[in-house]
A and B are shown apart, each in its own frame.
Chain A
């Protein structure tokens, strides 16, 4: 088993941390995982992305050109990764930040109003968690509870008070995506 995931968006949308939560959950499940950020000048203000590879064997390349799974938190990322996604792959798109329909019909595109869901929960910064929760519909190797445990085990003590809202964001994203999944043409 090997799955590659790219999470992309603006700097400040929690792209890197979203990937880390997946990486922690994979590690705690006994899987191999790599997390690699786009580092450098683009981190400051521009677009950011990270690639997470999860596998049950030694991981070769930590980077991937055509991932089967991706999360696009803004329009530039939607444009870029819709094109790059492997056929049959799943792209979670932050509906709050895009104004167009998908162009491809050989991939699953799941729209999630990440900003609105996060604001309903009461913290706009949770938008990354709603998207990561949504991604799990296409990543059966990791369960919602695994992500919750990962946050609980690896979040610094001073941030633990934020856990309930993070759990809620993950779950709302997941539930929304499951409903969307039934609507998308395979």
Chain B
């Protein structure tokens, strides 16, 4: 199939259609509305279900209900809208059914703004909803990757009976890039052994997230944890750039990762042995890849469009063996590559201390760089 110029949000919508999306439920919010808008046209054209719900709460609970039948379903939203869906997500997780959600993240907290951000990392990766549940979180950095991961989201969600979430910042949603769409996959409604799809001539099935007996609920939690172990073993994905001889490694996901690539290339051109690790699955996180690198590198630099969230995961992997430094632009600001280049230079010129708190020193530098007074 030839490459076409696709806008991120529309590409995600078409990729979902081609992956066999049977029903979409959503509510408009910038900067992800093009997903809903595109599907409002495309889904009826194919005789598939599209519902603009009365709210995000309505949308996620429609996803919950439809997913129980074994159909391929999804919703999409942006940060404040995803917050509204958290209760529903927890119920979906507790019921152990597959569902796919796309979060095109914007500046927060609160109503925030509509500019690109990565500040929902913790909400996505750590859970967000109540209860103890794992979830798969994918973080594309380009339009092509968003297309590829959209299909993968459905496959993983169904394989592990788990929520698969794709988190991208508003700039990937709004950006156009040449990309290749996969061929249209036929809708294959599987008769899962758990699906509630009509009990004619068979035992009735019950899908629920209620286990009144704590021992039953505990068993459910253990089952979820065991399934997560399988995901951790099989599904970690990341991309490496210039790591072979790297003495310094930048870690960044999504847009922060690709902006870091520009900085890493320029530093390389000046002879600095620096590489980049860009996690594609942020949950499961590539702990082992970072663990391996720790033996070879002098310091890590974590770059995010937030105030340091994935930073915790990198620190967990590195376990204090070498310094982990941080640079972030929160609130809807996308860093330019020269800011990251300055940070790489700072790493190289040292000295860095393992014991210092990277968030504190970053905050001090931010006030200085932005020339604003510390409150």
Contacts and interface: CB of A to CB of B under 8 A. Distances in A.
A136 B362 CA distance: 42
B331 interface: no
Given A20-B5, A36-B176, A59 B258 contact: yes
Contacts of A33: 5, 177-178
A27 interface: yes
B259 A61 contact: yes
B170 interface: yes
Interface string B114-131: 110000000000000000
Interface in B232-284: 255, 258-265
A59 B142 CA distance: 9
Interface stretch (B79-87, B197-205, B286-294, B334-342): B334-342
A80 interface: no
16 contacts: A24-B5, A27-B5, A33-B5, A34-B175, A34-B176, A35-B175, A36-B171, A36-B175, A39-B30, A39-B31, A39-B114, A39-B174, A40-B113, A60-B258, A60-B262, A60-B337
A120 interface: no
B3 interface: yes
A45 B259 CA distance: 30
Interface in A17-53: 20, 23-24, 27, 32-37, 39-41
- Grouping DSSP codes into helix (H, G, I), strand (E, B) and loop, the A interface class, with mixed when no group exceeds half, is mixed
A61 B115 contact: no
Categorize the interface residue count of chain A: 20 to 34
Given A20-B5, A23-B5, A40-B114, A60 B261 contact: yes
A58 interface: yes
Interface in B168-185: 170-171, 174-178
Q: Which of B177, B264, B265 has the most CB of A within 10 A?
A: B177
A154 B30 CA distance: 27
Contact of B171 (A23, A59, A62, A154): A62
Nearest to B178: A27
A61 to B, nearest CB: 4
A23 B174 contact: no
A132 to B, nearest CB: 16
A23 B3 CA distance: 12
A35 B178 CA distance: 10
B265 A60 contact: yes
B256 to A, nearest CB: 10
A142 to B, nearest CB: 14
Nearest to A51: B175
Nearest to B7: A35
Nearest to B339: A65
Contacts of B177: 32-35, 59
A65 B174 contact: no
Given A39-B31, A40-B114, A63 B336 contact: yes
B176 A63 contact: no
Nearest to B256: A61
A37 B177 CA distance: 12
B273 to A, nearest CB: 18
Given A24-B5, A60-B260, 4 more contacts: A27-B178, A59-B177, A60-B258, A60-B265
A11 to B, nearest CB: 16
